[in-house]
A and B are shown apart, each in its own frame.
Chain A
Amino acid sequence: ETGVTQTPRHLVMGMTNKKSLKCEQHLGHNAMYWYKQSAKKPLELMFVYSLEERVENNSVPSRFSPECPNSSHLFLHLHTLQPEDSALYLCASSQERPEEVYEQYFGPGTRLTVT
């Protein structure tokens, strides 16, 4: 495996289900991100982990719960979602360096449909 991988690629869940999205990066990076991409809207940053510590939470509803057990793996736990949560969920990683600009590399995304 190379780059950033995400599983599953597609997920359909009911509003009362609990599911998890998984992301793994094979780039040796030290930061990982979750984004939400909805039609006609810019990418929205949900969570950031740097060196396995959460550093960002953009007022995301508590029905989304991130977990970062190590620098290579990132999870997004989902429960009691709403239909408006249907979107493409993207994982990204980067190598953060002090005083330097760093690009983020994205996975292929998980297409989530909430019924």
Chain B
Amino acid sequence: EDQVTQSPEALRLQEGESSSLNCSYTVSGLRGLFWYRQDPGKGPEFLFTLYSAGEEKEKERLKATLTKKESFLHITAPKPEDSATYLCAVQAEEYSGAGSYQLTFGKGTKLSVIP
């Protein structure tokens, strides 16, 4: 069974204080790992897709990296507007009958950036 564990559950940072969020996963074969941002009362907003170990992607103050067992979302010099819940999801390579369309999500990390 595919599993995704995100840590920490919640993170409070001062504005400008860089840090990383972790996403550990167990999957039979990884097709893709996705990062989403979710603001309160809204749907998740797509950020990145990572396909293979060693891959990195950047967007403004965010950088996502991938190893064979985990992914990190690095936040450099965060601002208050970066406050949100960040979700990680994996898509398995093997069609399990439950649908290769299925994403397995973690519970998310709630990030608060204090001015």
Interface residues of A, Cβ cutoff 8 Å to B: 4, 6, 31, 33, 40-43, 45, 48, 50, 55-56, 58, 90-92, 94, 96, 101, 103-109, 111
Using known A-B contacts A42-B4, A101-B91, determine if residue A50 contacts B45 with beta carbons closer than 8 Å.
no
Asked if B46 and A101 make an inter-chain contact with CB atoms under 8 angstroms apart, the answer reads no
Residues of B near A106 (CB, < 8 A) are: 36, 43-46
Cross-interface CB contact of A55 among B32, B42, B46, B101, cutoff 8 Å: B101
Q: Mark B89-115, 1 if CB is under 8 A from A, else 0.
A: 101000000110111111110000000
Interface size class of B (residues with CB under 8 A): 20 to 34
**In the bound complex, what is the Cα–Cα distance between A35 and B108 (angstroms)?**
15
Q: How far is the CA of A42 from the CA of B51 in the complex (A)?
A: 22
Q: Does B86 contact A (CB under 8 A)?
A: no
SS class, residues of chain A in contact with chain B: strand
Residues in A whose Cβ lies below 8 Å from that of B51: 101
With a cutoff of 8 Å between Cβ atoms, the chain A residues found around residue B46 in the complex are 103-106
Please, how many angstroms separate the alpha-carbon atoms of A90 and B42 in the complex? 9
26 A-B residue contacts at CB 8 Å?
A4-B43, A6-B43, A31-B101, A42-B104, A42-B105, A42-B107, A42-B108, A43-B44, A43-B89, A43-B103, A48-B101, A55-B99, A91-B43, A96-B101, A101-B31, A101-B32, A101-B91, A103-B46, A103-B49, A104-B34, A104-B103, A106-B43, A106-B44, A107-B43, A109-B42, A109-B43
A45 with B4, Cβ < 8 A, contacts A4-B43, A106-B44 known: no
Name the contact of A43 in the complex, choosing from B32, B49, B105 (C-beta under 8 A). Answer: B105
> Any chain A CB within 8 A of the CB of B41?
yes
Asked whether, in the complex, the Cβ of B101 is within 8 Å of the Cβ of A42, the reply is no
Interfacial chain A residues near B41, Cβ < 8 Å? 108-109, 111
Question: Closest 3 interchain pairs by CB?
Answer: A106-B43, A101-B32, A42-B105
In contact, B98 and A56 (Cβ under 8 angstroms)? yes
In the complex, what residues of A have CB within 8 A of residue B108's CB? 42
> Is the pair A58, B105 in contact by a Cβ cutoff of 8 Å?
no
